[in-house]
Amino acid sequence: MKLRDLEVGKTFKFVNGNGKLWRKLSDNGDIAEYNYCKCLDDVRPEVRSGLMLDAGHNDHRMNKNAEVITAN
């Protein structure tokens, strides 16, 4: 599955990635070739469990054509 096909808020891992768990935060449609995602393995446990995903400095732009595996 491609990152562009995943719903916002779903967790996933990249097929050719390092095994870290990510959450899709945005869907930029056809405006840009990326989506913002947050690496859940890199944030503090209280932020991850409370879904307080408001710290933008942990957001990463990821290519929408990347292959992903859902982790739900």
Residue 66 identity: A
Q: What is the pLDDT of residues 20-66, one digit of tens each?
A: 999 999 998 888 899 999 888 877 666 655 555 555 567 889 999 99
Residue 28 identity: N
Please count the other Cβ atoms lying within 10 Å of the Cβ belonging to residue 6.
Answer: 21
pTM: 0.79
| Dist CA 34 CA 64 (whole Å) | 5
Q: Give the domain extent around 40.
A: 3-70
Domain count, the chain: 1
